[in-house]
Amino acid sequence: MTILVAYVPRPEGQAALDKGIEIAGRRKERLVVVNASPGGSKDDPSMADTRDVERVEKLLSESGIDATFKQFVRGKSAIEEIEEMVDSLQVSLLIIGLRKRTPVGKLFLGSVAQEILLSVPCPVLAVKAK
């Protein structure tokens, strides 16, 4: 089985990555970390830059677990990429990071988190940054 982490280069993405490494090590499962963006002409803050990708890959290699980092910029939304990976891999758990929200924002979680929770067939663990 595989644990999938939806990674963004923000504190909540790091929290999801840290929890993914911890759980994959404990369960002796494969870990796949994905960072995805539809791309386009404007800068996307959810897209990891080269330095961040290298940092994540180093963390994964030092973790001692079977882990892979994948980055996609293929015109699909992050949600579509995650759904496809859940369908193609035997995902036992999807881990996402949540950021702090206002009271109204808490009601809706956030469009990406909410859509992931409603669309994927596997268990989802939502973690918060410290």
**b or e along 57-75 (b: 16 or more beta carbons within 10 Å of the residue's beta carbon)?**
eebbeebebebebebbeee
Q: What's the CA gap between 95 and 7, in Å, rounded?
A: 9
Domains delineated in the chain: 2-128 (3.40.50.620)
> What average pLDDT does the chain have?
89
pTM of the model: 0.89
SS3 for 21? helix
Ranges 17-21, 22-26, 76-80, 125-129: which has the least confidence: 76-80
- Chain segment 59-73, per-residue pLDDT in tens: 999 999 999 999 988
